[in-house]
A and B are shown apart, each in its own frame.
Chain A
Amino acid sequence: MKKNTINLIFNIFLITGCLYLFLVGINGMSEAFKGLGTGFAKHILSTTANPFLALFIGTFATVLFQSSSTTTAMIVSMVSGGALTLGGAIPMIMGANIGTTVTNTLVSIGHINRGNEFKRAFAAATIHDFFNMMTTAILFPVEYYFHLIEKAATLLGSILFGTITPDHVFHSPVKQAVKWGSNKIEFIAFDHSIIFLVFSIALTLFMLYSIVKILRGLVLSKVEIFFDKYIFKTAIRAMIFGLILTFMVQSSSITTSLIVPLAGSGVLTLIQIFPYTLGANIGTTATAIIAALTLNATALVAAFAHLLFNILGIMLIYPIPQIRKIPIFLAERLSEYSIKNRFVPIYYLLTIFIIIPLTIILIGEL
């Protein structure tokens, strides 16, 4: 057998193992939240009862993890464990969408000393920020007053599974195996809910990191030819490519960061990159859906809410040229200011991703 084939088989086994342990971690978190009792749940529920606060918690948590997949996977496990309602989860998911854009913006800062290259790279990174902020600015008030995404996600869940309750648990051999693993973690944690929660979070984070790392190595060298001319010729192809690639590597941070140097060097233009990042937004929702499949119907509805939020955002902004131009205009304008004053990107990063979320969270906690 060829060395490459052996490597491939080994990596597939490795990914399967990591995916299993990731699901064990998610399940463990859900169980640990239940074990923490009503006091803890009440505290989380009262904090996230304010959707505005929940939005910025989602943003800040994702900035810390540098991965919306991690945050949303944790959110669905909290929904499953009863520590978070669907209504509280949706603003957090919206916030996670904003927070995830920090990674590619940080990558673009690496080009800061190279004039026009930085201008192109920074615009390519911040177009994702502006699109996600704009989507949130439109859909957050709609959700606040009309619960549109919650209703749509619940409807989708009801069509697929009938009634949506936390008691509606999925049954499958995978679920049984995950439950078995989660029980073992609980045993190792001396049946102590806080230790169990810490172990489960650590396992989830480490396994998601490992999955992304292995998939990145496995997938990217095979797909580099798709970054050449053909795929980026039309918006729909670029969007589908962004979606599939993000699904394959389970991280929009990676797929959107990849194109930053290509944009910087002028290989890809801002117009070509834009639909690709939107595809990445949809592709990244897969992690939470996979995680929720081993939990319960409510968790899956929360994961669907993430998917619907991103699809709605694209439907509202991308098809109308005048609206579509807004994030492009904002990204270009900010990058123009940024090459005139090198502190602008630093101020922007600190303000949007640290100072505003942290200030609102701290005020909300008072």
Chain B
Amino acid sequence: MFKQIFELFKANSLYTQALKECYEMLDIDLLMYKFSTESLRRKETVEIPYNIYETDKKINEFERDVRRKIMTHLAISGTTDLGSGLVLVSVVIDIERIGDYTKNIYDMARNHPTKLIGGSIEEQIQLIEKKSTYIFENGIKAFKTQNIPLARELMEVYKKEVSSLCDEITHNIIAGKITDLSTDQGASLALYSRYLKRIAAHSRNLISSIVNPFERIGYPE
């Protein structure tokens, strides 16, 4: 008991603890993302050396923990960290949602055990994957270092190169403009494209918290 109380004395403020938990959540999200996209797109089997479902539960626990810590911090220590506390409570939802979408990608991989191939839109799919991964990975860096120029660049990449392309792919599949895809392939690619867009969009929301005032988190600068 005394050891635990001593540990508490050495501990950071609840705000700092909550911030560190957000960083940890992002690192876990990134791992989940890499394993689930690899399983769907680059492996012929569904097995991956990572338990996506257990990790997703851990992410959900982190989300509740962050909220509780920020609430306690603001109630006890006053309003000094009110702005940054509210930002964390807001972005932790985006971080949790990214975890959910990576889980959705893995769900799809389980139902589509062979490698998902993009047919005539393979190049576009690869481009979205590349750009989404770029936004997500660098978004984590920008958030951790509070790098405003990098955050601005990533928001531009999302707006100009990811959002519209994802929509175009989904709309073209629904409209039947892409004829070389089987039903399961078409449905999977439409969903995959949508999930990647959502992951990039939540990453954009995360980094918009560095650039924008509180009320404009998740919106363009």
The residue that A228 contacts in the complex, of B1, B5, B72, B77, with Cβ under 8 A, is B72
Number of interface residues of B (CB under 8 A): 18
Q: Is there an interface contact between B13 and A226, defined as CB atoms closer than 8 Å?
A: no
CB distance from A114 to the nearest CB of B (A): 14
Q: Is there an interface contact between A262 and B75, defined as CB atoms closer than 8 Å?
A: yes
Q: How far is the CA of A231 from the CA of B5 in the complex (A)?
A: 8
Q: Is A112 an interface residue (CB 8 A)?
A: no
Q: Is there an interface contact between B14 and A258, defined as CB atoms closer than 8 Å?
A: no
11 contacts between A and B (CB under 8 A): A220-B76, A224-B72, A224-B73, A228-B17, A228-B69, A230-B5, A237-B1, A261-B71, A262-B72, A265-B71, A267-B75
Chain A residues with CB under 8 Å of B8's CB are: 225-226, 230-231
Q: Is there an interface contact between A224 and B13, defined as CB atoms closer than 8 Å?
A: yes
The residue that A261 contacts in the complex, of B12, B68, B75, with Cβ under 8 A, is B75
Chain B residues with CB under 8 Å of A261's CB are: 71, 75
Q: Is there an interface contact between A223 and B72, defined as CB atoms closer than 8 Å?
A: no
Taking CB atoms and an 8 Å cut-off, the chain B residues in 173-199 that contact chain A are none
Q: Is there an interface contact between B76 and A224, defined as CB atoms closer than 8 Å?
A: yes
Q: How far is the CA of A261 from the CA of B5 in the complex (A)?
A: 24
The residue that B71 contacts in the complex, of A226, A231, A262, with Cβ under 8 A, is A262
Chain B residues with CB under 8 Å of A230's CB are: 4-5, 8
Q: Is A5 an interface residue (CB 8 A)?
A: no
Query: For residue B11, which residue of chain A has the nearest CB?
Result: A225
Chain A residues with CB under 8 Å of B76's CB are: 220-221, 223-224, 227, 258, 262
Q: How far is the CA of A228 from the CA of B5 in the complex (A)?
A: 12
Q: How far is the CA of A231 from the CA of B12 in the complex (A)?
A: 16
CB distance from B76 to the nearest CB of A (A): 4
Q: How far is the CA of A220 from the CA of B76 in the complex (A)?
A: 6
Q: Is there an interface contact between A225 and B13, defined as CB atoms closer than 8 Å?
A: yes
Query: For residue B74, which residue of chain A has the nearest CB?
Result: A261
- B interface vs A, CB < 8 Å? 1, 4-5, 8, 11-14, 17, 68-69, 71-73, 75-78
Most buried by A among B11, B14, B72: B72
Q: How far is the CA of A31 from the CA of B12 in the complex (A)?
A: 48
A218-258 vs B, Cβ < 8 Å mask (1 yes, 0 no): 00110111111011000001000000000000000000001
Known: A220-B76, A220-B77. A267 touches B71 (CB 8 A): yes
For the complex of A and B, 10 pairs with smallest distance between CB atoms? A224-B76, A261-B75, A221-B77, A225-B11, A227-B72, A265-B71, A224-B77, A267-B68, A262-B75, A224-B14
Q: Is there an interface contact between A228 and B14, defined as CB atoms closer than 8 Å?
A: yes
What class of interface size applies to chain A in its complex with B?
Answer: 10 to 19
CB distance from A349 to the nearest CB of B (A): 22
Q: Is there an interface contact between A225 and B71, defined as CB atoms closer than 8 Å?
A: no
Chain A residues with CB under 8 Å of B75's CB are: 227, 258, 261-262, 265, 267
Q: Is there an interface contact between A225 and B14, defined as CB atoms closer than 8 Å?
A: yes
CB distance from B61 to the nearest CB of A (A): 12
Query: For residue A260, which residue of chain B has the nearest CB?
Result: B75
CB distance from A282 to the nearest CB of B (A): 19
Query: For residue B75, which residue of chain A has the nearest CB?
Result: A261
Taking CB atoms and an 8 Å cut-off, the chain A residues in 122-149 that contact chain B are none
- A-B contacts besides A237-B1, A265-B71, 14 pairs, CB < 8 Å: A220-B78, A221-B76, A224-B13, A224-B73, A225-B11, A225-B12, A225-B13, A225-B17, A226-B8, A227-B72, A228-B69, A261-B75, A262-B71, A267-B72
Chain A residues with CB under 8 Å of B78's CB are: 220-221
Taking CB atoms and an 8 Å cut-off, the chain A residues in 257-291 that contact chain B are 258, 261-262, 265, 267
Q: How far is the CA of A223 from the CA of B11 in the complex (A)?
A: 10
Chain A residues with CB under 8 Å of B71's CB are: 261-262, 265, 267
Most buried by B among A225, A227, A261, A262: A225
Q: How far is the CA of A231 from the CA of B14 in the complex (A)?
A: 14
Q: How far is the CA of A258 from the CA of B73 in the complex (A)?
A: 11
CB distance from B185 to the nearest CB of A (A): 46
Q: How far is the CA of A261 from the CA of B79 in the complex (A)?
A: 14
Most buried by B among A224, A258, A261: A224
Query: For residue B1, which residue of chain A has the nearest CB?
Result: A237
Q: How far is the CA of A227 from the CA of B76 in the complex (A)?
A: 9
Q: How far is the CA of A224 from the CA of B16 in the complex (A)?
A: 12
CB distance from A124 to the nearest CB of B (A): 12
Query: For residue A216, which residue of chain B has the nearest CB?
Result: B78
Q: How far is the CA of A265 from the CA of B72 in the complex (A)?
A: 9
Q: Is there an interface contact between A221 and B72, defined as CB atoms closer than 8 Å?
A: no
Q: How far is the CA of A87 from the CA of B34 in the complex (A)?
A: 76
Q: How far is the CA of A262 from the CA of B72 in the complex (A)?
A: 6
Q: How far is the CA of A67 from the CA of B4 in the complex (A)?
A: 33
Q: How far is the CA of A226 from the CA of B77 in the complex (A)?
A: 12
Chain B residues with CB under 8 Å of A220's CB are: 76-78
CB distance from B19 to the nearest CB of A (A): 14
CB distance from B3 to the nearest CB of A (A): 11
Q: How far is the CA of A231 from the CA of B7 in the complex (A)?
A: 12
Chain A residues with CB under 8 Å of B14's CB are: 224-225, 227-228
Q: How far is the CA of A258 from the CA of B8 in the complex (A)?
A: 19
Q: How far is the CA of A258 from the CA of B78 in the complex (A)?
A: 10
Chain A residues with CB under 8 Å of B73's CB are: 224
Most buried by A among B4, B69, B75: B75
